[in-house]
């Protein structure tokens, strides 16, 4: 469902209202239901090095399903970073525009092997040691699940958007999407363990609007993005 | 090495096997998206379950090169295993692993087509939450050797297992040869060993290190950035792990691995334990022999080097078994086996990798009736070349070509193309 929305974001560029001189801001807060702790895969031979962190990620991503016209007159070419630290990917969720490059530095004193088999970007960075980093460019929108081939409990998400109208929430759920041209849009919220939730919003000629979401397990589409992009 | 034509006609029989695997894969493709890719959790995370399904197909192995100690051919097997961890507290958990095995195709060695194995059942205690020190009690994982860490199909780059961990020797814990003549008569027949002392019904022999069963006892493990140390006190031996003791003897085993750099792991393992079943000892004709302890002892050295898309492993194991010298020509020294293995893997693309393993198992010499010294078992060499394709992170298809050579008159060589589909969650 989310993947479809993200692809639509690319396909429908130019259909939505055009970029105007006066733009607004969409802001708000998402409230998550109680989340189940993260459970590591049991292992007969390799018990975890230290007591695993079971806290689930509270971070979500809010985005426009359809981008305003002219959103890509100036393609993005930014660099982002996803660290490997304490057998975790930090941050656990990254949202980037297409064309961006993500660096994957290893901060642990042992090897990691970052890879993804997701359709938007398939890659395998091989094994490399602490202090080294390898980079991947993401040119296609969609959800990329990232794993470590050595530590099966390590995973992360990279959401690649075909526009710049998205925001990652903070741990308290706050978000802010700035410089949105006036018009009516579909605003979507993604969280790794919950169905995607959408809402129609109208951005006025000037000023901000506040859109809060209270997410539940049953709301939205039936397909969890985690499962649909499990590769 | 003697070359006969006994096995040369086997190769064409593989025609149907890859086809079956392809059909299975095709049938699985529409539905695998619905299969779980994460552990299944119940009771608010108190119970976590993971599982693995493997379907392996290959042509008939008339030389029993890939027979396991349950009379199953490991290349013709449907395996489904579930590992459940009950987390009683932050420090204590109970792990249970059950494996269901069903032979595919014609049964070769008799026995049951379907076996349900209680593979592991133990309590894991971590006294200090922030230190990777664990004590495990029950039917516990092996501590000896590097292959101990290869618990999932994904850890094994090929389909076959290393000879030391799988190949059945003409050696039993419950049945003893009276002389080297008995040994020679059973050479290369590890799947059906027949000796006159103790249990006289023919049955499968044992491998150097059994990888399809776990031993029972207690083990401790401590891991740091540079070091991984494990020690275990168990009832059985490497070759013959036990749920119930059969000889009032224990085995002490240990392994120390050092990681001087992230790219390199160097390990040394050792084990010694009473091997022969008490009933077989009781059947010995000489009272003095019955007072002896017949032990298996083993020493292993292993190394793993990895960098970027390359991985290389090597392992050497020297194992010896004390057996009684009953009649002439006598078994005058402990029977020894030496295995040496090297394997490599290279990732060609994110989904595709290639791998190869060269493996050799050789044996010490004992006197024959003429006084000449001959190997007590037939030397075996195995070359396996193959690769894998990752359909998804947890779904892999492997294809491998395996060539075996054995220093016997019959079934001296065999070659197979095998295919495996594995899925885990």
Q: What is the pLDDT of residue B174?
A: 96
> How many domains is chain A built from?
2
Q: What is the pLDDT of residue B157?
A: 93
If asked whether residues A176 and A186 sit together in one domain, one would say: yes
What are the structural domains, with CATH classification, of chain B?
11-424 (2.40.160.10)
If asked whether residues A27 and A8 sit together in one domain, one would say: yes
If asked whether residues A231 and A200 sit together in one domain, one would say: yes
Percent of chain A with pLDDT over 90: 58
Q: Which of A35, A44, A120, A231 to mutate to test the interface with B (most CBs of B within 10 A)?
A: A44
Listed in sequence order, the residues at least 6 apart from B190 whose beta carbon sits closer than 8 Å to its beta carbon are B64, B67, B167, B168, B169, B170, B171, B204, B205, B377
Domain boundary among A161, A195, A216: A161
Question: Which residues in B lie closer than 8 A to residue A43 (C-beta atoms)?
Answer: 83, 151
Give the nearest chain A residue to B120 (CA atoms): A44
Q: Answer yes or no: is pLDDT of A12 > 60.
A: no
Q: What is the pLDDT of residue B147?
A: 79
Give tens-digit pLDDT for A58-71: 899 999 998 776 66
- What is the extent of the structural domain holding A112? 73-161
Strands A183-191, A194-203: pairing kind:
antiparallel
Q: What is the pLDDT of residue A53?
A: 63
Q: Answer yes or no: is pLDDT of B215 > 90.
A: yes
Give the least confident one: A95-99, B34-38, B124-128.
B34-38
Q: Is the Cβ of A107 closer than 8 Å to some Cβ of chain B?
A: no
If asked whether residues A202 and A223 sit together in one domain, one would say: yes
Percent of chain B with pLDDT over 90: 72
Between A8 and A158, the higher pLDDT residue: A158
- Is B123 in contact with B93 (CB distance < 8 Å)? yes
Q: What is the pLDDT of residue B5?
A: 33
Beta-ladder partners of A80: A102
Question: Does residue A41 lie in a domain region?
Answer: no
If asked whether residues A152 and A182 sit together in one domain, one would say: no
**Which one of A37, A41, A228 has the shortest CB-CB distance to B50?**
A41
Give tens-digit pLDDT for B219-261: 999 999 899 999 999 999 999 999 888 888 999 999 999 999 9
Question: Which residues in B lie closer than 8 A to residue A51 (C-beta atoms)?
Answer: 90, 126, 129-130
pLDDT band at residue A147 under the 50/70/90 scheme: very high
Q: Answer yes or no: is pLDDT of A118 > 70.
A: yes
Question: Which residues in A lie closer than 8 A to residue B90 (C-beta atoms)?
Answer: 51
If asked whether residues A150 and A116 sit together in one domain, one would say: yes
Mean pLDDT computed over every residue of chain A = 83
Q: Answer yes or no: is pLDDT of B388 > 60.
A: yes
Q: What is the pLDDT of residue B150?
A: 53
If asked whether residues A77 and A148 sit together in one domain, one would say: yes
Give tens-digit pLDDT for B328-350: 999 999 999 999 999 999 999 99
If asked whether residues A155 and A91 sit together in one domain, one would say: yes
**Chain B nearest C-alpha distance from A76 (Å):** 26
Q: Answer yes or no: is pLDDT of A36 > 60.
A: yes
Mean pLDDT computed over every residue of chain B = 89
Q: Report the alpha-carbon distance of residue A17 to residue A66 in Å, rounded.
A: 10
What is the rounded average pLDDT of the residues A40-47? 80
The CATH number linked to A78 is 2.60.40.420
Domain boundary among A122, A140, A161: A161
Question: Does residue A50 lie in a domain region?
Answer: no
If asked whether residues A64 and A104 sit together in one domain, one would say: no
Domain boundary among A161, A185, A220: A161
Three-class SS of B80-138: EEEEEEEECCCCEEEEEEEEEEEECCCCCCCCCCEEEEEEEEEEEECCCCCCCEEEEEE
Q: Answer yes or no: is pLDDT of B16 > 80.
A: no
Long-range pairs, B396-401, Cβ under 8 A, ≥24? B396/B153, B396/B154, B396/B420, B396/B421, B396/B422, B397/B21, B397/B25, B397/B421, B398/B153, B398/B158, B398/B159, B398/B422, B399/B18, B400/B158, B400/B159, B400/B160, B400/B355
Give the nearest chain A residue to B123 (CA atoms): A44
Give tens-digit pLDDT for B146-191: 875 555 556 899 999 999 999 999 999 999 999 999 999 999 999 8
If asked whether residues A169 and A202 sit together in one domain, one would say: yes
Question: Which residues in B lie closer than 8 A to residue A136 (C-beta atoms)?
Answer: none
Q: Do A115 and B350 touch (CB under 8 A)?
A: yes
Question: Does residue A49 lie in a domain region?
Answer: no
pLDDT band at residue B34 under the 50/70/90 scheme: low
Beta-ladder partners of B211: none
**Which one of B39, B132, B263 has the shortest CB-CB distance to A50?**
B132
Q: What is the pLDDT of residue A58?
A: 87
Give tens-digit pLDDT for A22-34: 688 999 999 999 8
**Chain B nearest C-alpha distance from A146 (Å):** 10
């Amino acid at each position: 469902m989310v993947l479809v929305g993200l692809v639509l974001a690319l396909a429908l560029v130019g259909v939505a209202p055009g970029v105007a001189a006066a733009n607004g801001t969409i802001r708000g807060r998402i409230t998550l239901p109680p989340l189940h702790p993260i459970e590591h895969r049991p292992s007969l031979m390799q018990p975890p090095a230290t007591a695993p962190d079971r806290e689930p990620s509270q971070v979500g991503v809010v985005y426009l399903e359809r981008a305003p016209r002219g959103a890509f007159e100036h393609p993005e070419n930014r660099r982002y970073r996803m660290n490997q630290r304490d057998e975790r990917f930090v941050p656990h969720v990254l949202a980037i525009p297409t064309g961006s490059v993500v660096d994957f530095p290893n901060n642990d004193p042992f090897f990691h092997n970052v890879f993804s088999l997701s359709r938007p970007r398939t890659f395998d960075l091989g094994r490399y040691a602490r202090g080294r980093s390898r980079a991947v460019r993401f040119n296609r929108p969609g959800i990329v699940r990232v794993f470590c081939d050595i530590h099966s409990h390590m995973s992360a998400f990279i959401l690649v958007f075909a526009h710049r109208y998205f925001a990652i929430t903070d741990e308290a759920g706050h978000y802010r999407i700035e410089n949105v041209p006036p018009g009516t849009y579909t605003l979507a919220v993604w969280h790794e363990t919950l169905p995607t939730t959408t809402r129609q919003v109208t951005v006025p000629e000037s000023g901000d609007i506040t859109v809060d979401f209270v997410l539940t397990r049953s709301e939205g589409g039936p397909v969890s993005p985690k499962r649909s992009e499990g590769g | 090495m003697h070359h006969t034509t006994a096995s040369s006609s086997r190769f064409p029989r593989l025609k149907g096997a890859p086809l079956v695997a392809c059909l299975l894969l095709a049938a699985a493709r529409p539905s695998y998206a619905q299969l779980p890719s994460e552990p299944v959790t119940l009771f608010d995370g108190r119970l976590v379950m993971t599982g693995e399904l493997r379907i392996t197909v290959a042509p008939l192995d008339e030389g029993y090169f890939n027979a396991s100690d349950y009379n199953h051919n490991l290349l013709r097997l449907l395996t489904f295993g579930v590992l459940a961890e009950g987390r009683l507290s932050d420090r204590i958990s109970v792990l249970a692993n059950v494996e269901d095995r069903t032979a595919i195709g014609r049964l070769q060695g008799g026995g049951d087509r379907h076996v349900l194995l209680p593979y592991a059942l133990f309590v894991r205690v971590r006294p200090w939450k922030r230190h990777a020190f664990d004590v495990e009690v029950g039917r516990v994982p092996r501590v000896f050797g590097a292959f101990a860490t290869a618990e999932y199909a994904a850890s094994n780059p090929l389909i076959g297992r290393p000879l030391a961990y799988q190949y059945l020797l003409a050696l039993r814990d419950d049945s003893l040869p009276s002389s080297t003549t008995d040994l020679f008569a059973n050479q290369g027949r590890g799947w059906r060993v027949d000796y006159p002392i103790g249990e006289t019904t023919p049955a499968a022999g044992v491998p150097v290190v059994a990888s399809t069963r776990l031993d029972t006892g207690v083990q401790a493990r401590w891991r740091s950035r540079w070091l991984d140390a494990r020690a275990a006190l168990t009832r059985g031996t490497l070759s013959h792990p036990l749920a119930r003791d059969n000889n009032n003897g224990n085995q002490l085993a240990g392994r120390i691995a050092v990681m001087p750099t992230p790219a390199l792991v160097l390990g040394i393992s050792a084990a010694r334990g009473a091997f022969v079943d008490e009933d077989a000892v009781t059947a010995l004709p000489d009272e003095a022999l019955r007072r002896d302890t017949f032990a298996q002892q083993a020493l292993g050295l292993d190394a793993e080097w990895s960098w970027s898309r390359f991985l290389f492993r090597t392992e050497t194991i020297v194992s010896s078994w004390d057996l009684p010298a009953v009649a002439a020509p006598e078994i005058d020294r402990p029977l020894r086996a030496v295995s040496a293995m090297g394997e490599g893997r290279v990732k060609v693309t994110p989904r595709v990798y290639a791998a190869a393993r060269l493996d050799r198992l050789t044996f010490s010499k004992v006197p024959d009736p003429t006084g000449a010294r001959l190997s007590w078992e037939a030397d075996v060499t195995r070359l396996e070349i193959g690769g894998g394709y990752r359909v998804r992170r947890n779904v892999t298809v492997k294809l491998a070509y395996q060539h075996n050579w054995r220093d016997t008159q019959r079934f001296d060589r065999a070659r197979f193309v095998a295919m495996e589909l594995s899925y885990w969650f």
